[in-house]
Amino acid sequence: MRVLVQLTHPAHVHFFRPYVELAADRGHAVRVLALEKEMSLELLDAYGIEYEVACEPADRDLFRIRDQARLTRATYRAARDFDPDVLAAIGGTSVAHVSTLVRGRSLVFYDTEHATLQNAITYPFVDRLCTPACYRDDVGANQVRYRGFQELAYLHPNRFSPDPSIREAAGLDPGERFVVLRLVGWDAVHDVGSGGFADVSDVVSALEATGVRVLITSEAPLPPDVRDRRVSIPPHRIHHLLWAADAFVGESPTMATESAVLGTPAVYVSNLRLGYTDELEREYDLVATFSGPHRQERALSHAVSLLDGYDASVWDARRERLLDETVDTTAFLVDHIETEGARV
């Protein structure tokens, strides 16, 4: 079986890495086509994954027309040359379109309801769309739901073994408590109006007043007074840091979810509400979401209370229940690649 995997964001590298690593044992020939975006190529190199660069985006937003057209052309050329049985991606606009022109079938994963433009030009062309069970939209006959989260493709215990040495790599003292603070750039079309924190310096001060250290990972420039809190670790080790943290506080729903499935309580601050973060809050109490007026103040009050009463056993138990009730998303991915490939 021949599988073309398209990667257009660093998070997609994490998602497909376990599959690419086991593909040969399943008899799959895999070709990876990657967009040169942010740290995607650095991650692929760190994981030792061979890849072909599709193109370098001319703009930060993938879904500007010029960038999308260039990516679609590159995907079509790769598919024509490789002749895949399955074309797999997250989001998958160009994969969906190209699959209508070649022999292979498109298999697309997605979990973001508010990406309305992308979804409108993608979903009608997808052969098989895989969404979490908590995804709010019913798309049609091509949709299949799974009980789980995209992040469990690479953070399920079958796929991830935490490395305690991350503490030393991050410059932490033995036993030192810390929080990961994540700030995003809000530059994608589906991020418009999403707003998170109003004052990063106040956030850091409030968290540090509890006695924890704050380690910042940010897509945006930081105020001068908190720049020394920016953490410096290789990007492929970020999940080990999330696992070791006492809590996650931030504007990224993906990193909030990653933290939650690792058993680290997450405080998610954004006007964006998603099916998967709401599910983690409603069903497992592993995420607390704060949106609307005074979201920063309310989020910090919650985070301070959480840190003051922190009990690791509580969060471990919640994570165990989540794992009992969800699937290994990579196993689900492999099953559906083979099912779709058999239909060609």
Q: How many domains does the chain have?
A: 2
Contact 95, 75 (CB under 8 A): yes
In this structure, the number of other CB atoms found within 10 A of the CB of residue 181 comes to 27
Does residue 134 sit in the same domain as residue 186?
Answer: no
Task: Give me the CATH number covering residue 241.
Answer: 3.40.50.2000
Does residue 76 sit in the same domain as residue 92?
Answer: yes
Does residue 53 sit in the same domain as residue 85?
Answer: yes
- The answer to whether residue 207 scores a pLDDT higher than 50 is yes
Does residue 35 sit in the same domain as residue 135?
Answer: yes
| DSSP string computed for 106-124 | EEEE---TT-HHHHHHHGG
Does residue 142 sit in the same domain as residue 170?
Answer: no
Q: Judge whether 160 lies within some domain.
A: no
Residue type present at position 265: P
Contact 175, 244 (CB under 8 A): no
Does residue 197 sit in the same domain as residue 229?
Answer: yes
Q: Between 188 and 29, where is the model more confident?
A: 29
Nearest alpha-carbon partner for 7 in 48, 60, 49: 49
Q: Judge whether 69 lies within some domain.
A: yes
Model confidence at 192, in pLDDT bands (50, 70, 90)?
very low
Q: Which residue has the tokens 């704060």?
A: 290
Model confidence at 189, in pLDDT bands (50, 70, 90)?
very low
What is the separation of C-alpha 319 from the centre of its chain, rounded to a whole number of angstroms?
18
Name the H helices within 48-129.
65-82, 93-99, 116-122
- Tokens at residue 259, please? 């933290």
Does residue 234 sit in the same domain as residue 102?
Answer: no
Does residue 150 sit in the same domain as residue 182?
Answer: no
Q: Judge whether 122 lies within some domain.
A: yes
Q: Judge whether 264 lies within some domain.
A: yes
Range with the poorest average pLDDT among 10-19, 52-61, 249-258: 52-61
What value does the mean pLDDT take over residues 108-120?
Answer: 96
Nearest alpha-carbon partner for 178 in 80, 307, 314: 307
Q: What are phi and psi of 98, to 5 degrees?
A: -65, -35
Does residue 316 sit in the same domain as residue 253?
Answer: yes
Q: Judge whether 304 lies within some domain.
A: yes
Expressed as residue numbers, the domain containing 224 is 166-325
Q: Judge whether 227 lies within some domain.
A: yes
Does residue 197 sit in the same domain as residue 131?
Answer: no
What confidence score (pLDDT) does residue 220 get?
87
- The answer to whether residue 193 scores a pLDDT higher than 50 is no
Q: Judge whether 184 lies within some domain.
A: yes
What confidence score (pLDDT) does residue 206 get?
97
What confidence score (pLDDT) does residue 188 get?
42
Q: What is the pTM of this model?
A: 0.94
- The answer to whether residue 57 scores a pLDDT higher than 80 is no
Strands 105-109, 86-90: pairing is: parallel
Does residue 97 sit in the same domain as residue 185?
Answer: no
Q: Which residue has the tokens 């943290």?
A: 245
Does residue 131 sit in the same domain as residue 243?
Answer: no
Q: Judge whether 159 lies within some domain.
A: no
